[in-house]
Amino acid sequence: MSKIVKTKAIVLKKINYGDTSIIVSLYTEEYGRMSAILKGARKSKTKQGLIIDPLNFVEIVLYKKKNRDVQLISSTDLITNYIRIKEDIEILKFAYATIELIQNLTVEEEKNIKLFKGLTKILNLFNSSEEFPGVIFCRFFLFLIKELGYQFSFKQCNICGRGNISEEDLAFNFETGLLCSKCKKDYLSTIEINKELFNFFYCLRDNKKINNNAENLSSNAIYFMETYLKYHINSFTGLRSLKLID
């Protein structure tokens, strides 16, 4: 038996279904990621199909039935459509990468209020902040890695335990973690961590402003985090959004 529920959601993706309907993937406040169908959404007289658009923040009413793969949407109301994001191709690229991470790395119908708030916060920042969007995205990526349980530390060498190594030529091994300049010699499979990248992650972690070389540093940090997750999550193959929009 279905029950009528209301929840806020970010639209992750949508596809046409049949002659007039659409199926959407949503990240909801109350139920985590879920799929739902909006029947008749593509008819010329309805605005519902325009409201259910990727990146839109909406409030939906749906008929939710336990163990049903695709829930049925009754109605939708737009909270915000993040106009600035959609008018700036550079910001749009990173915003799409954000919802791609949510789509590919979260479990269906696993509620996570902290992650939902983090997602809406980062979209608001994309829409209003003057900070380089790649840096904003890196902040979210790092936050998501922690929420998924794959947090890594850049505080000290994970082999000898030595701290105060930010001025050294460091490396990172995906099994052991951060390696100082001495310990890294014993490991073949590593990624180099230079001083600038080390300090960039330090600023991300402590939510400090990045003023210099933001584009290059964020690109290097994204590559590191993508590679790190590919190692730990076999199903993760990288971010297509950052390659499709250039």
Instruction: Return the beta strands (E) in 39-123 as ranges.
Output: 57-64, 70-80
**Rounded to an integer, what is the distance from CA 92 to the centroid of its chain?**
13
Q: In what order do the strands lie in the sheet with 191-193?
A: 177-179, 170-173, 191-193
- The pTM of the full predicted model, rounded to 2 decimals, is 0.92
Q: In this predicted structure, what is the pLDDT of residue 210?
A: 87
Instruction: Return the number of other C-beta atoms located less than 10 Å from residue 161's C-beta.
Output: 9
Q: In this predicted structure, what is the pLDDT of residue 46?
A: 66
Going from the N-terminus, what domains does the chain have, and what CATH number goes with each?
Answer: 3-80 (2.40.50.140), 83-152+187-244 (1.20.1440)
One digit per residue, the tens of pLDDT, for the chain of length 246 reads 789 999 999 999 999 998 889 999 999 999 999 999 999 888 756 677 789 999 999 999 999 998 899 999 999 999 999 999 999 999 999 999 999 999 999 999 999 999 999 999 999 999 999 999 999 999 999 999 999 999 998 889 999 999 989 899 999 999 999 999 999 999 987 899 999 999 999 899 888 888 789 999 999 999 999 999 999 999 999 999 998 655
Q: What is the DSSP string of 50-61?
A: HHS-TT-EEEEE
